[in-house]
């Protein structure tokens, strides 16, 4: 009888609830490993649309801070969540605990507290480990431990698990059933399988024309093979140094003198909030008008010539080595696919396409993204590589099965089925 129950328990799919799901990279990995996602949430409309098209209708569009715990199903086995990472990222020079996004992990904490799942898994960027000299990750771990969970975290590199991408991510894993939190062992690298290269997975698309429509290559459908073409290595930049704070104070003086509100300035230009950045300097969020906007603003406010030369005189400059100029690797794993835009294709004629980025993130070829070009890039860059999610899920599933940490509902299903036998 015990053998029958064990066999049947393997057939019962562990249930998961997913927060900050995005387009579903992590969720798809867990589905591939035999989990059932019963509820998911994100506030990015295009990502939700993509999720619904490819995974399921169970995702809810909305801000998790406005969703009560009572709206989320009970009796699930694991809570998943890649809480927003922009505030923690080392690419964010102004990261700090004043950034509200950094506290969205507390929404995971709230659901864990109210639902008490056997497991939870959180994913975030490498920068989380060094923020405030390690005090932030310590705070997060302590918060979950206070709820009775054994918590461990580890920095994983996606390329070590067969993903053609050197993407480093912090995985925080917790359980309240007394088992050891196990992370998957690397499968690729030195003395293991060879790392998967960019050329190996997207080389066949190098010369395929760009198209929003579905194309066929060697009898297979190719979706979302579209890309940006901005690969210039020079730009027109300001010839003179200009202090944004000084310009801000100057423009605010003339705006007040003219008696015009920022809202009216925005309306005049037909912008939505853009003009507001010309009159602010908090948290380095201010900006200086471009040349055409400067002359138009001069007509509107009637200011003098004090900053005219500094703001409007331009010269051709070379772009320094930065994300916008990086050429993607070809004979080794890619650098991190980001949400802000892809690297240049090795052919130097275009950026990596949406489909190429999706393949590097190990989404299946049949996974179709919705939205504009920029929002598709953003969805992919924010996602967890599907294969990495699957590797994590398989390791958790081993603990799930071996510990018999099955929800009460599943236990009842097993007992009922056993009685019928």
Q: Which residue, 121, 113, 177, is CA-closest to 150?
A: 177
Pair 39, 74: CB distance under 8 Å? no
Tokens at residue 303, please?
A: 């200011």
Active site residues: 85
Tokens 């932030």, located at residue: 136
Q: Which residue, 152, 64, 73, 48, is CA-closest to 109?
A: 64
Pair 342, 352: CB distance under 8 Å? yes
Strand 119-125 with 59-61, pairing? unpaired
What's the angle, vertex CA 98, arms to CA 61 and CA 377, rounded to 5?
45
Q: Which residue, 417, 419, 420, is CA-closest to 7?
A: 417
Tokens at residue 127, please?
A: 């920068």
Secondary structure letter of residue 274 according to DSSP: T
Q: Which residues pair with 327 in a beta bridge?
A: 344
- CB atoms closer than 10 angstroms to residue 135: 10
Residue 170: helix, strand or coil by DSSP? strand
Tokens at residue 211, please?
A: 């198209």
Tokens at residue 301, please?
A: 């406010």
Tokens at residue 350, please?
A: 């275009």
Query: In whole angstroms, what is the distance from residue 309 CA to residue 109 CA?
Result: 53
Secondary structure letter of residue 194 according to DSSP: P
Backbone angles phi, psi at 44, to 5 degrees: -90, 105
Secondary structure letter of residue 307 according to DSSP: T
With a CB cutoff of 8 Å and minimum separation 6, the contacts of 320 are none
Backbone angles phi, psi at 8, to 5 degrees: -70, -35
Strand 15-19 with 36-42, pairing? parallel
Pair 333, 165: CB distance under 8 Å? yes
């Amino acid at each position: 009888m015990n053998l029958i129950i064990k066999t049947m328990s393997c057939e019962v799919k562990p249930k998961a609830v997913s927060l900050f799901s995005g387009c579903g990279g992590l969720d798809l990995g867990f589905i591939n490993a035999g989990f059932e996602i019963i509820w998911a949430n994100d506030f990015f409309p295009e990502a939700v649309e993509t999720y619904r098209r490819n995974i399921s209708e169970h995702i809810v569009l909305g801000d998790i801070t406005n969703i009560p715990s009572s709206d989320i199903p009970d009796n699930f086995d694991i809570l998943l969540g890649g809480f927003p990472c922009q505030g923690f990222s080392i690419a964010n020079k102004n990261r700090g605990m004043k950034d509200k996004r950094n506290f969205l992990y507390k929404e995971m904490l709230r659901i864990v507290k109210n639902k008490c799942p056997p497991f939870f898994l959180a994913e975030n960027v490498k920068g989380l480990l060094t923020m405030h000299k390690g005090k932030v990750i310590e705070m997060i771990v302590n918060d979950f431990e206070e709820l009775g969970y054994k918590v461990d975290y580890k920095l994983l590199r996606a390329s070590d698990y067969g993903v053609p991408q050197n993407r480093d991510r912090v995985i925080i894993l917790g359980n309240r059933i007394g088992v050891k939190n196990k992370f998957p062992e690397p499968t690729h690298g030195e003395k293991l399988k060879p790392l998967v290269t960019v050329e190996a997975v997207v080389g066949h698309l190098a010369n395929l024309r760009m198209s929003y429509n579905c194309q066929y290559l060697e009898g297979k459908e190719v979706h979302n093979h579209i890309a940006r073409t901005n690969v210039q290595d020079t730009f027109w930049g300001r010839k003179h140094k200009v202090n944004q704070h000084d310009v801000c104070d100057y423009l605010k003086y003339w705006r007040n003198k003219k008696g015009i509100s920022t809202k009216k300035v925005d309306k005049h230009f037909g912008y939505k909030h853009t003009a507001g950045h010309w009159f602010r300097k908090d948290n380095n969020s201010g900006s200086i008008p471009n040349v055409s906007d400067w002359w138009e603003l001069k007509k509107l406010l009637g200011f003098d010539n004090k900053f005219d030369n500094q703001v409007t005189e331009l010269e051709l400059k070379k772009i320094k080595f930065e994300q916008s100029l990086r050429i993607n690797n070809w004979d080794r794993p890619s650098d991190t696919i980001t949400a802000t835009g892809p690297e240049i294709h090795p052919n130097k004629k275009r950026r990596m396409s949406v489909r190429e980025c999706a393949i590097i993130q190990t989404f299946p070829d049949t996974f179709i993204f919705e939205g504009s070009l920029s929002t598709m890039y953003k969805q992919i860059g924010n996602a967890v590589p599907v294969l990495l999610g699957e590797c994590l899920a398989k390791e958790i599933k081993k603990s799930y099965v071996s510990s018999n940490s099955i929800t009460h509902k599943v236990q009842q299903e097993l007992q009922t089925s056993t009685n019928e036998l």
